[in-house]
Chains A and B, each alone.
Chain A
Amino acid sequence: MMLQRNPEFLRNVWIALTPGRLLLMPVILTVVFWAVYLASDDMPSFLAGLQPTAAIALAILLFLIGLKEATDALVSEVNQQTWDSQRMTAIGPFNMVIGKIFGGAVYAWYGAVYCGLVMITAALMMPDTLIHLKQLAIIVLSAVLCYAASQCWVLTNVQKNRYRGNLKSTSYIVLIIAALMLFGIIYQVFLSQVSTTTTIKWYGLNPSWTNFLLFSIVYFLVWSVVGFYRTMRLEFKFKNGPWVWLIFLATLWIYGGGFVTETVLEDISLRWLARIYVGFGLAVVLTYLTAFNEPKDVVLFRKLIFLFQNRHWARFQKRLPLFLVTLAVAVLICIITLITSIFIIDAVEKAGTSPAVWYSLAILAFLLRDITILIYANLRLKAHRADVAILIYLMMLYVLVPLILNLLKLEYLLPAFVPHLKGTLLNGLGLVLLQCGLVLFLLYRRWQQVGEATKYSK
């Protein structure tokens, strides 16, 4: 469906583009550009000033104004109770995604079109036209990336907090993205010359910083739109399997592994081992991210158990939360790292009894412990703020406890509370597994308690 026939986009146009606002935006921007003209001596200096001014105006419009509008649009749909009516329509997830990305911030996009045209005109009249056009593409594409990623984040929060009252403000997202905006502006205005001459190493390639940034933005843009679309599908009661997420993990692994080049590690075997560790690290980080962001209530697990017990495998895999899928991937890569370390790589084989071999296994044990704690906290019947509480608890566990152990000169206990290269099989893995066993036992007890409580509440 074209944008002009997208109902969600049109609804936003009707609301945001009133005649007064339609007039105001070009007037303000023209005055800004006119001021640049007045401050310039001749045409080349005007163009040299106009290009960064338009770039900064574009970045402010898209990141500072547009991003907040786009994320708030989704939050207000939920808080003002119009979201269920939208979910009942035949718009479909894809058109809703497009409508939200471009419609939620339609006024910012309106100004962005003007700034973009000014930038293109100036670029065509200046030397290094292609570089300026790439800069424009970087700002616009990174804006779309930020809109899709932040709206996807908001939507998973909607799913996590469904029917628990109003969603909170998304200012924290805006703060994170504002940092990206500043980076964009600084990059555009001050570092553009450096970035075109600097190259980076990625696998065997040496692309310029600008080209690689553009490639990276396009890569993450595609996946953030896919992520937003897949999350939207769930809102429209379509089912998602784990396969697209697994493909994303694989491509991210390939992307991240490219940074381990011969300049980082000369030995090709160790380089590939390092790339496997990159995959393991990404899987661990993404398990934490998805675990904190996804719903983990008792109903989800009851549903999974019901589907498992009744052997509805197709529905079971479609119901699996992404954090469990990512955890499984982390376990798999951990096994690969162990096998590779012990049996394949000569350099590591010699250090087969070294505690470093158990390091990835210890990290995995910590991950299992933390995820179990997170599920345990969310299994409470009224677990509204369980994730925040566990986040604080884990921060204390990883920062305060090691600090205290250091002060008490009990360094040999450190590997039991924080992943440590000097950890042995006993204090680096055994004690963490013991913690895992304990929290698993507590989880089992809570599961039984919750089952009883629900039975009596019928």
Chain B
Amino acid sequence: MITVEHLTYEYPETRALDDVSFSIQKGTITALVGPNGAGKTTLLQCLAALVEPLHGRILIDGTEILRTPYKVQSMLGYLPDFFGLYERLSVQQALRYFAMAQNVKKTTITARIEVVLSQLDLIEKANAKIESLSRGMRQRLAIGQAMIHDPRILLLDEPASGLDPAARNRLAELFLALNAEGKTLIVSSHILAELDQYANNLLILKNGRLVDQDIAEAETTRKIHIELLAADARLETFLSQTPSAQHFDMAVNDKAEADPCHVVIDFSGSDKDQQALLEQIIGQGIKVKAFYPQKTSVQSQYLEIMDKDQAK
């Protein structure tokens, strides 16, 4: 869906992006994280075709965005980090303006505005002047403006900044709903815990560079929990002969004792390999009660990767 090749962007004072390459699959929610000044905002601006890189290519659905930015921008919705709103317009007028500006069909504009107002929980404020809105409502309206033309890709720079926990939760639900509709989202945020709620892909920038691909790939090694109805020695034998199960051990229960019915393995393989592993274990006649990958938070992944990068 999105392919970035050797992207380099410079400001007069600094190189903001340095030979960045990655690709993002359709229908994912990518968390774009990194320390301040890592180049997150610049990357999003490049993806939105708002700034032109020194060199490198960005392809969206196979189209190079700098060759035909207007064509690609119709597929994109972008919420800048610091956004402005037309204070003297009403919420509905602002959405109507952006719908018209994005060439939404005249006959469908009203219906589309209603959908967006409903998704963003702003129906009651449709006729309110923007200057009278709270911070959270303004944030939601800005997102509404970015998605009024129903773009396939949403680029959101710090969308939850300044929102209270309840509003953040609603925002996360909205992102998941949009993702369920097949939209691809790239969300830059400092609040890593919030990204846990919806992100299923991680992109880490540091000093304008994507954190080492080797490290990122190492993250494909995940912990898988296997809970049995009763302890079974055949499991240990089987796992010791399975190359993708790099390491395994008994889990520790509440009483700090090793639990023979609960085994945790370090698994390196694809989702298909994971499915095959489960089938093989069951095929051995081992009575499996539960089989699940351990969810690693974005925060812990981020910190772990950054530590490894630091150590290199």
Chain A residues in the interface with B (C-beta under 8 A): 5, 7-8, 10-11, 14-15, 80-82, 84-92, 163, 236-238, 297-299, 302-303, 306, 381-383, 450, 453-454, 457-458
Chain B residues whose CB sits within 8 angstroms of the CB of A7 once the complex forms:
97, 100-101
Cα–Cα distance between A10 and B94 once the two chains are bound (Å)? 11
Whether A90 pairs with B74 at a CB distance below 8 angstroms is yes
Known: A7-B101, A299-B54. A458 touches B84 (CB 8 A): no
Known: A11-B86, A88-B50. A299 touches B12 (CB 8 A): yes
Chain A residues whose CB sits within 8 angstroms of the CB of B10 once the complex forms:
298-299, 302, 454
Q: Chain A's nearest CB lies how many Å from the CB of B104?
A: 9
Chain A residues whose CB sits within 8 angstroms of the CB of B83 once the complex forms:
81-82, 84-85
Chain B residues in the interface with A (C-beta under 8 A): 10-15, 18, 48-50, 52, 54-55, 66, 69-70, 73-74, 76-78, 80, 82-86, 88-89, 93, 97-98, 100-103, 145-146, 149, 207-208
Q: A14-B93, A85-B145 are in contact. List 4 more A-B contacts (CB 8 A).
A: A11-B93, A85-B80, A90-B103, A303-B54
Per a CB cutoff under 8 Å, which of B84, B97, B149 touches A11?
A: B97
Per a CB cutoff under 8 Å, which of A84, A86, A297 touches B101?
A: A86
Whether B70 pairs with A457 at a CB distance below 8 angstroms is no
Known: A302-B10, A458-B208. A237 touches B69 (CB 8 A): yes
Whether A10 pairs with B12 at a CB distance below 8 angstroms is no
Q: Which residue of A lies closest to B85 (CB)?
A: A82
Chain B residues whose CB sits within 8 angstroms of the CB of A8 once the complex forms:
101
Chain A residues whose CB sits within 8 angstroms of the CB of B93 once the complex forms:
11, 14
Whether A237 pairs with B66 at a CB distance below 8 angstroms is yes
Cα–Cα distance between A382 and B208 once the two chains are bound (Å)? 20
Q: Is the interface of B mostly helix, strand, loop or mixed?
A: loop
Chain A residues whose CB sits within 8 angstroms of the CB of B80 once the complex forms:
81, 84-85
Whether B86 pairs with A297 at a CB distance below 8 angstroms is no
Q: Chain A's nearest CB lies how many Å from the CB of B186?
A: 15
Chain B residues whose CB sits within 8 angstroms of the CB of A453 once the complex forms:
13
Q: Which residue of A lies closest to B66 (CB)?
A: A237
Q: Which residue of B lies closest to A307 (CB)?
A: B55
Q: Which residue of B lies closest to A457 (CB)?
A: B14
Whether A89 pairs with B54 at a CB distance below 8 angstroms is no
Give me 19 A-to-B residue pairs in the complex whose CB atoms sit less than 8 angstroms apart, sorted by A's number: A7-B101, A8-B101, A14-B97, A80-B84, A81-B83, A88-B73, A88-B76, A89-B101, A237-B69, A299-B11, A302-B10, A302-B54, A306-B54, A306-B55, A450-B12, A453-B13, A454-B13, A457-B14, A458-B15
Whether B15 pairs with A457 at a CB distance below 8 angstroms is yes
Chain B residues whose CB sits within 8 angstroms of the CB of A80 once the complex forms:
84
| Among all A-B residue pairs, the 10 with the closest Cβ atoms | A81-B84, A89-B101, A7-B100, A82-B84, A80-B84, A237-B69, A457-B14, A7-B101, A90-B103, A11-B97
Whether B13 pairs with A382 at a CB distance below 8 angstroms is yes
